[in-house]
Structure 1
Amino acid sequence: MELEAIPGVGAKTADALHELDDPEAALRRGDVAAIASASGITHGRAVQIARGAVRDRHGDDGRVLATDRARELYRDVIGLLKDRAVTDYAETRLETFYPSASRSRIEEVRSFVADAMEREPDPAVLEALSGVEPMESPGTVRVRERCLATADAERYAEAEAAMPELSVETAEDVRDLSELARSYATVIVLDESFAGLDVHGDVRVRPDALETPAETVPERLLARFATNRDRLLAAAAVHEAADVDPPCDLEALRDALSRVDDDGTVIGDDEFDRLATAVDDLDAAVGTAESVANDHLRQAIRERDVTIEGQDFLSLVEQGARVDSLLSRELADEYDAALERARDHVVSALRLDPGEAEIAKRVFPEGDPTFPVEHDEETVSRLRNELSTARDQRAATLKADLAEDLSELSDPADDLVRDALELDVELAVSRFARDFDCTLPTFDRDRGFRIVEGRSPLLDVSYADAEPVDYAVSGATLLSGVNSGGKTSTLDLVALVAILAQMGMPVPAAEARLERFEEIHYYAKSQGTLDAGAFEATLREFGDLVEGADGRLVLVDELESITEPGASAKIIAGILEALEDQAATAVFVSHLAREIREAADFPVAVDGIEATGLEDGELRVNRSPQKDHLARSTPELIVEKLSGERGGAFYEDLLEKF
């Protein structure tokens, strides 16, 4: 797919889209969330790009909605669908559906909708969907205990770009590597020339390290799963509640997620926990061990009666002996016992293994007794380094092992979340179809439309209370009827059915058939008589209309209000003549049906929404237009009512004039 061939996508936007892992797949799916994740692209812009990709794929010029009123009704339709979505993703995704004149696009959506209408909107599924969001990219993780090393400048730059999580160091020889091994727990060498060299420390020669990120920097994958833990668990719950086959083993996914903390740290490993705790508690353990030794010696001195003969004391002093030396003769065994207790405390408190315990014994070295007992700081530092290195290497091993498991789940996890979000789109369509008793319409080559038991969900009354309407039109037609009889609502219903049908969506009717319209023109009722300039502009607009392409649906509400009735009738008659010549489907609501029919040079069809009478001052109306029937006006009904109630020549004469 040539990205710049998509309508509205220039070079800058194409560059941003190329940042995505698979821009063509995202565009093909209409994945607005993925498109919007590209730098500089808003959600609104992502919708436009997704629509542009659809139009490009189906050769669709996207001009079906030709007037403001038609576009307004489309926004109302989208609003009804979005109201039935749970996730923000589904709301945005629904905006990628639009009325199309392309047969292939309509059929593509109809196939999707047919499956969606079979979905059962189970409350448990809707509840589970509330926790699902598109996968989020975590921020860059900094890994300080591991580095990459190379002697090649080009490889150095490549490594920095490929793995920003790790430090990249220059290493020209074994000495450089040895220095790095003292600073990092693990050194990963990118140059094969270093293979076979013996370097102290954890130094690994891995020329393929940049091509295996899950092994080299497993923190990247762990961070992604940690960041999206709640989304993944919610998506898993959606699949289970909906009884939909998931793209991965959900138990394996949950097990893997349970092994990584929110910050990407691997959890649940006893050995790592032991080493981490030992590093953290080392200084405290050594300090406590000193106290243990000194408390033992203090108690021993209190309990021991030490006697030194005068000659012995003089001899010791003459030899320069210290008090410690004087004590060592009497307390040597107790001093050894104190050291042993201190060593045992460090080993037991930190749960050291035999190798670590050997180092710990030298924290309190043997030698001349001293009081108070003190530790050897150099040995403590060595023990700390040994424990820290073991901890970091253990963490790296755990991360690598977990990343290996997660790498197999990575793509399926993306699919898991995406499928859950797409299920929400399907359920929104299903709920719309169920709430408004919808059916999929049929398209044929016959001119016009036919609607059976259609009800508009946009009326001010509840949908259940809306009266069903049957209406069919096959050419240029006038729709007459009393005021407040439902003429405008009928136009809205026709436009609504046509818009939904050409979106590929179900329509609120028991049955519907229509031709595939190239354009939908809907002109709302004008607000009062227009001045000369506005009148001229309106005529220009209708002049452009009748010179347009064939295969259009034209709906006009009381155009006669733009000027005086006599002129209006002639203008409307002329417009209808032109539309009839082009085989357009048109419905013009007008109170001048008789005058327009007389002015037209072809037999204009006139349908009527007939009022059956007045009851307590309220009209009783048959909302379905009657074919080839000029409906009576409200004044005529009132005159008829008065004539029947009061009689007299006056009312009878008035009635005859109608």
Structure 2
Amino acid sequence: MELEAIPGVGAKTAAALRELDDPVATVESGDVAAIARAPGVNEARAARIARGAIRRRHGDDGRVLATDRAREVYREAIDLLRERTVTDYAAKRLETFYPSGSASRIEEAQSFAAAATEQEPDPAVREALAGVEPLTDPPTVRVRDRCLATADAETLARAESAVPELSVETVEEARDVSELARSYATVIVLDEAFAGLDVEGDVHVRPDALETPAETVPERLLAFFAANRERLEAAAAVHEAADLSPAADLDRLRDALARLDDDGTVVGDAELDRLTAAVDDLDAAVSTAESVADDRLREAIRERDVTIEGTDFLSLVEQGARVDSLLDRELADEYDEAIERAREHLADALRLEPGEAELADRVFGGDPSFPVEHEESAVSRLRTELSAARDRRAARLKSELASDLGDLREPVETLVRDALELDVELAIARFARDFDCVMPEVVGPEGTAAGDAKGFRIEGGRSPLLDVDFADVEPIDYAVSGATLLSGVNSGGKTSTLDLVALVVVLAQMGMPVPAESATVERFEEVHYYAKSQGTLDAGAFEATLRDFGDLVEGADGRLVLVDELESITEPGASAKIIAGILEALDEQDATAVFVSHLAREIRDAADFEVAVDGIEAAGLVDGELRVNRSPKKGHLARSTPELIVEKLADDRGGDFYGDLLEKF
């Protein structure tokens, strides 16, 4: 699949996606987090790319949501689902579900949603999910104690691209490698021609080094695990709380993470700690050792009387001797003991091994002096040896830990992805439970296998879009096939019925459960929902509205049309004729339509076909409030609110006036 063929993916975005390890497979997987790891692609953009890839895979080129109000209903549906997520990932991932006209896409989404509704939302899982985020790629770690070396220009360019963490040096002969070994703790030579090289230092000839990055630069893998420690630990906790089978060995993962510090260094190794402390404390230990020697000499001088014969004194002075030399003649043994104490203190303070202690002995042992002075060159040599030992030890431990973590790299990707996907599933499960949902039957334009009519059928539907507690919403039964008028009293629930129908259809074609006891929905190619107009339109706006409906009825087959009180756009008499004409055109196209109107009688009279009229019937007025049967009654022209009020007055007060008025309805 060409990335540019995905709807909404241009050349620039495609170039960014190609930075992923397997861009085509990643995009087709719908994994929003993985797609968002492409440079410059955020999760919202990743969700749109995933949705475009889904459309292309199913040949789903249509746009079901054809009007602003239809799109609003979709956003409201998505918001209800998103409110039940814990992670940002799940909120974005839910946006890859959209109302589709493709049977294969709806079946795919329904399969996912049906499995999701089987999940049991658990507060412990929800709490664990709070710490889960998509894995992140940390910034490139610069490693300065190791380098790559090559004599080939092409290999050099490839190495700089493949391993940006290390310096890549040019070498021509063994002497060049030897010089590098004096500057770096480890030198990795990439050319086979240097095999058998014998130079001093930690030098390895590894032509395969670029193909084995975990061995060459283990810091890369360790930085990844260090940066994602909390995400991995949270994902592990989710799997345990939800009793899921993890893709990675959790005990092994936790053991490896315990050996890794937040900056990607290895912790818990006593020898590395010793060498690190020795390098860090060297200068302080040398200074303290000098003080130890000085204190011993002072003590010796205080304990003895030092006498020098006059001729000896004259001779020493004539030779230019310093006082230190004079003391050395009288306190030679004490000076040697003081130097030995300094050496012992240095070795003990730094916890030096025997070989290291031999180097430390050279720090003190030059010409006698007071105060005692160290040999700076010997300190430098000791520091170099300790640093090199430390770096080699750290490199070996990093390699060992990277080896342990290497085969966990892909499993932890799956571990986190499964935790994030679980949040998506649990959001759907909570949505289904909160609103007493059921998986609907979505049928083709030909109807069901049993030969049921097209359109929609909803039993026990309750809308979560109403501004009341869901528990207080009255259930509605409603089914429509063909063009239908919906009549009823003011505030009787006509608009909320349209909202429910739109929501059920949108959710059904998203592949989601719907808030009803049962539902069957035709797979509509388009959903046109026109909300109630705010007042009469001027001539220009009225003309534009008629043009919209003119376009609508052209080829309206496979469409659902929901219209709320279109008569408000102009004078009632003209409105009835216009609505009748639109219904005639929709009927000829065999479309499914519900028009809410207070002019049902006038529209029916003006139409050239037998218009179906349903009614939301009011039982009457009780204490000034309507008592309404919210489910539309088929084939029934509902009484209006004015008629109910006149009827109540006729019953309460009697008289010819109210009786005559009632007869006019």
TM-score band, normalised by the shorter chain?
A: over 0.9
SS in 1 for 2:407: helix
1:453 aligned onto 2:452: no
Q: Quick one: distance in 1 between partners of 2:501 and 2:321?
A: 114
Deviation at 1:654, TM superposition (A): 1.1
Deviation at 1:352, TM superposition (A): 0.4
Partner of 1:82: 82
1:370 aligned onto 2:377: no
Deviation at 1:313, TM superposition (A): 4.7
The CA deviation string for residues 304-332 of structure 1, in whole angstroms up to 9 with x for no partner, is 12344455555666776654444334322
Q: Quick one: distance in 2 between partners of 1:44 and 1:534?
A: 35
Q: Quick one: distance in 2 between partners of 1:368 and 1:237?
A: 65
Deviation at 1:475, TM superposition (A): 1.4
Partner of 2:599: 592
Q: Quick one: distance in 1 between partners of 2:261 and 2:374?
A: 36
The CA deviation string for residues 368-413 of structure 1, in whole angstroms up to 9 with x for no partner, is 5332221111111111100000000111101111111111111111
The CA deviation string for residues 586-624 of structure 1, in whole angstroms up to 9 with x for no partner, is 111111111111222221111100000001111111100
The CA deviation string for residues 353-372 of structure 1, in whole angstroms up to 9 with x for no partner, is 0110111111112x653322
Deviation at 1:567, TM superposition (A): 1.7
Q: Quick one: distance in 2 between partners of 1:322 and 1:45?
A: 81
Q: Quick one: distance in 2 between partners of 1:283 and 1:412?
A: 46
Deviation at 1:648, TM superposition (A): 1.2
Q: Quick one: distance in 1 between partners of 2:489 and 2:529?
A: 21
Unaligned segments of structure 2, at least 5 residues: 448-452
Q: Quick one: distance in 2 between partners of 1:321 and 1:649?
A: 145
Deviation at 1:347, TM superposition (A): 0.5
| Letter matched to residue 468 of structure 1 | P
Partner of 1:648: 655
Q: Quick one: distance in 2 between partners of 1:136 and 1:271?
A: 32
Root-mean-square deviation (Å): 1.4
Which stretch shifts more, 557-566 or 92-101? 557-566
The CA deviation string for residues 567-593 of structure 1, in whole angstroms up to 9 with x for no partner, is 211211111111112211111111111
SS in 2 for 1:451: strand
| Letter matched to residue 60 of structure 2 | D
Distance 1:559 1:171, change over 3 A: same
Q: Quick one: distance in 2 between partners of 1:324 and 1:587?
A: 113
1:395 aligned onto 2:394: yes
TM-score with structure 2 setting the length: 0.97
1:334 aligned onto 2:341: no
Partner of 2:405: 406
The CA deviation string for residues 186-214 of structure 1, in whole angstroms up to 9 with x for no partner, is 01101111111211101111111111100
Deviation at 1:37, TM superposition (A): 2.7
The CA deviation string for residues 8-56 of structure 1, in whole angstroms up to 9 with x for no partner, is 2122221111111222232223222322332233433322211110100
| Letter matched to residue 437 of structure 1 | D
SS in 1 for 2:627: strand
Which contiguous aligned blocks of 4+ residues in structure 1 show a shift greater than 6 angstroms? none
Partner of 1:190: 190
Q: Quick one: distance in 2 between partners of 1:36 and 1:106?
A: 25
Q: Quick one: distance in 2 between partners of 1:309 and 1:38?
A: 88
Contact kept? 2:347, 2:357, Cα under 8 Å: yes
Q: Quick one: distance in 1 between partners of 2:469 and 2:648?
A: 31
| Letter matched to residue 4 of structure 2 | E
- The match for 1:518 among 515, 525, 528 is 525
- How many equivalent residue pairs? 657
TM-score with structure 1 setting the length: 0.98
Q: Quick one: distance in 2 between partners of 1:62 and 1:383?
A: 75
SS in 2 for 1:623: coil
1:478 aligned onto 2:485: yes
Partner of 2:561: 554
Which stretch shifts more, 369-378 or 266-275? 369-378
Distance 1:318 1:61, change over 3 A: closer
Mapping of 1:31-50 within 5 angstroms? 31-50=31-50
Deviation at 1:297, TM superposition (A): 0.9
% of aligned pairs identical? 78
Q: Quick one: distance in 1 between partners of 2:315 and 2:579?
A: 137
Contact kept? 2:556, 2:591, Cα under 8 Å: no
Contact kept? 2:362, 2:378, Cα under 8 Å: yes
The CA deviation string for residues 105-130 of structure 1, in whole angstroms up to 9 with x for no partner, is 00111111111111111111111111
Deviation at 1:243, TM superposition (A): 0.9
Q: Quick one: distance in 1 between partners of 2:493 and 2:213?
A: 66
Deviation at 1:292, TM superposition (A): 0.5
SS in 2 for 1:522: strand
Q: Quick one: distance in 1 between partners of 2:61 and 2:150?
A: 54
- The match for 1:632 among 639, 659, 663 is 639
Q: Quick one: distance in 2 between partners of 1:321 and 1:289?
A: 26
SS in 2 for 1:144: coil
Q: Quick one: distance in 1 between partners of 2:224 and 2:25?
A: 21
Mapping of 1:7-22 within 5 angstroms? 7-22=7-22
SS in 1 for 2:288: helix
Distance 1:84 1:313, change over 3 A: same
1:620 aligned onto 2:619: no
Distance 1:453 1:368, change over 3 A: closer
Q: Quick one: distance in 1 between partners of 2:318 and 2:564?
A: 126
Partner of 1:434: 433
Distance 1:468 1:312, change over 3 A: same
| Letter matched to residue 90 of structure 1 | A
Q: Quick one: distance in 1 between partners of 2:469 and 2:170?
A: 74
SS in 2 for 1:81: helix
The CA deviation string for residues 68-104 of structure 1, in whole angstroms up to 9 with x for no partner, is 1100110111111111111111111111110001011
| Letter matched to residue 15 of structure 2 | D
Mapping of 1:223-242 within 5 angstroms? 223-242=223-242
Q: Quick one: distance in 1 between partners of 2:502 and 2:367?
A: 102
Deviation at 1:343, TM superposition (A): 0.5
Partner of 2:450: none
The CA deviation string for residues 492-531 of structure 1, in whole angstroms up to 9 with x for no partner, is 0000000000000000011111211111111111111212
Deviation at 1:253, TM superposition (A): 0.8
Distance 1:563 1:313, change over 3 A: closer
